Amino acid sequence: MTTTAGYSRTQISLHWLVAALILFQLIFGEEIGSAFDAMLDSGVASYDLAAVTHIAAGVGVLLFALWRLALRFTRGVPVAPAGESLVQGLLANATHAILYVMMIVVPVVGLYAWFGGSEDAGDLHSWAKPAFIILVGLHVLGALYHQFVLKDGLLRRMMRAGG
């Protein structure tokens, strides 16, 4: 993969926009549950505010994640921070890769549950909450470890565009 001196302004904006959308889904996600149950019972979808915002935010996560992946492959990403051990690097890369998979699979399963009227897909989709909490928790711990233990200013890479 191409390496650059830093993330671009677009990559940084997309990172924080997607983080905010996922946070919104985790806080308000359960609200779509009652519209979903009503739809499974009656066979008719009701597009209340909770359903519309959940679907829009979820589709946003999916499209922005695909955009980010395209940018990773066309523009590139910065090299690993200096001083990072092999294990730390592998852990960071694995966390990022699983987050990307989830940013794509979770909305796709949600869309299948809603538009396919599948209760099983809905149950599977509900694992999004604990899975994102654990993965994002690990990711934030990693970022804080860099910031306060290694003191390598890693957070700045996701704040200010470079290269």
What is the token pair recorded at 44? 């008719």
**With contacts defined by CB under 6 A, how many residues of the chain interact with ligand HEM?**
47
By CB under 6 A, name the one of 143, 150, 152, 161 that touches ligand HEM. Answer: 143
By CB under 6 A, name the one of 46, 123, 134, 145 that touches ligand HEM. Answer: 123
| 50 lies in the site for ligand HEM, by CB under 6 A | no
Nearer to ligand HEM, 33 or 150 (CB): 33
Rg (CA), the chain: 18
Minimal distance in Å, beta carbon 40 to ligand HEM?
9
Distance between CA atoms of residues 122 and 131, nearest Å: 15
Angle at 104 between CA 102 and CA 47, to 5 degrees: 105
Q: Judging by beta carbons within 10 Å of its beta carbon (0-12, 13-18, 19+), is residue 158 exposed, middle or buried?
A: middle
Distance between CA atoms of residues 30 and 24, nearest Å: 11
| 120 lies in the site for ligand HEM, by CB under 6 A | no
Residue 127 DSSP code = T
By CB under 6 A, name the one of 38, 91, 111, 161 that touches ligand HEM. Answer: 111
User: CB–CB of 130/52 below 8 Å?
Assistant: no
Residues that bind ligand HEM in the complex, under the rule CB under 6 A = 11, 15, 18-19, 22, 25-26, 29-30, 32-33, 36, 54-55, 58-59, 61, 68, 72, 77-78, 92, 96, 99-100, 103, 106-107, 110-111, 113-114, 122-123, 125-126, 128-129, 132, 136, 139-140, 143, 154-155, 157-158
